[in-house]
Amino acid sequence: MTVLDILLSGQLLFAALVTGSLYALIALGLNLVYGTMRMLNVAHGDVVMLGAYGAYWGFTLLDIPPLLAAPVVAGLGGLLGWALYRGIFQRMLSGGSGAGNNRLESNSLLLFFGLSIILQNATALVFTPNNRAYNYLDTVYHFGGVAMTGNRLAALLVAGTACIAVAVFLSRSVFGLATRAVIERREAAHIVGVDVDYVQRLSFILGFGSAALAGVLISMLGQFSPFSGFPFTIAGFIVIILGGLGNTMAGLLAALLLGVIETYGVALTSANMRSVLLYGAFVAALLLFPNGLFAGRAKSR
């Protein structure tokens, strides 16, 4: 294939969009939690993995189509987020300012690491470490020479819709306003009467719920095991670094960009270059745009 062939290939564009939209959905939840609480959830990918199991068991044991199960699994993910927030993080976050709060970032990182290890190994114990995959919506559709398997098309549409819905919600609703206030100036938001605790709780629920939803979609595409969550955490990190930590809107664009970099980059070089491309984008973004690619407007926090 010539370079021109690659750049004009609709098939690659479709692949880039599927990858990008999934990255966007994953990064969205990660970014919400980071933005509102300054806590980096390294167990985020493991929640994605749990969502994949939810869809898998629903489909193989109960014959529930994954797309129908998706809202339920997302709800369960949200419930897990709520439980963790109430059980562990609420107390940490309300520790007030001062020394305790300074350690918040590192303490929460340790907690999330622990959570990640527990989720992975508990899943392996309960569900066995077998590879899991199932066959759903495997009809191939052709649109103008581009072949699209039903499940990949569905993943793109659902992830895209979910991202846009959350984006609209955050930009139009009062909660969204409050969220952005907390992200930008936490203390000030508290002073002017924003219910910070409520914003944080809802961010946890939305964050975990969207991760579980992403898991449902990913389970339709390939196989997964209890240990396949971590790469998604990494992809999510790269996206939010590209887009700017806590900047949820820019994260959506950054995710699509990463999908494009990955898909076309691999086509132009080799699949072995995938990690180099991903981490290359990561390092380049940190060096050149430490506040994110789209940080022109924001005056920094």
Residue 83 binds another protein (CB under 8 A): no
In the complex, least distance from residue 136 CB atom to another protein, rounded to whole angstroms: 9
In the complex with another protein, the residue whose CB is nearer, 108 or 228, is 228
Residue 2 binds another protein (CB under 8 A): no
10 Å CB burial of residue 60 (0-12, 13-18, 19+) is exposed
Residue 134 binds another protein (CB under 8 A): yes
Binding segment for another protein among 43-51, 70-78, 100-108, 226-234 (CB under 8 A)? 226-234
List binders of another protein among 243-282 (CB under 8 A).
262-264, 266-267, 270-272, 274-275
Q: How many residues bind another protein (CB under 8 A)?
A: 43
Residue 138 binds another protein (CB under 8 A): yes
Residue 130 binds another protein (CB under 8 A): yes
Residue 173 binds another protein (CB under 8 A): no
In the complex with another protein, the residue whose CB is nearer, 204 or 224, is 224
8 Å CB contact between 50 and 219:
no
Residue 132 binds another protein (CB under 8 A): yes
Distance of CA 218 to the CA centre of its chain: 11
In the complex, least distance from residue 118 CB atom to another protein, rounded to whole angstroms: 12
* Residue 229 structure tokens: 């969550």
In the complex, least distance from residue 102 CB atom to another protein, rounded to whole angstroms: 30
Selected from 221, 241, 281, 285, the binder of another protein by CB under 8 A is 221
CA distance 205 to 80: 8
Binding segment for another protein among 91-99, 135-143, 155-163, 286-294 (CB under 8 A)? 135-143
List binders of another protein among 84-123 (CB under 8 A).
120-121
CA distance 49 to 223: 11
Residue 18 binds another protein (CB under 8 A): yes
Selected from 65, 100, 114, 222, the binder of another protein by CB under 8 A is 222
Residue 11 binds another protein (CB under 8 A): yes
In the complex with another protein, the residue whose CB is nearer, 120 or 200, is 120
Residue 128 binds another protein (CB under 8 A): yes
**Residue numbers of the site for another protein (CB under 8 A)?**
1, 6, 9, 11-12, 14-15, 18-19, 120-121, 124, 128-135, 138, 140, 147-149, 152, 221-223, 225-227, 231, 262-264, 266-267, 270-272, 274-275
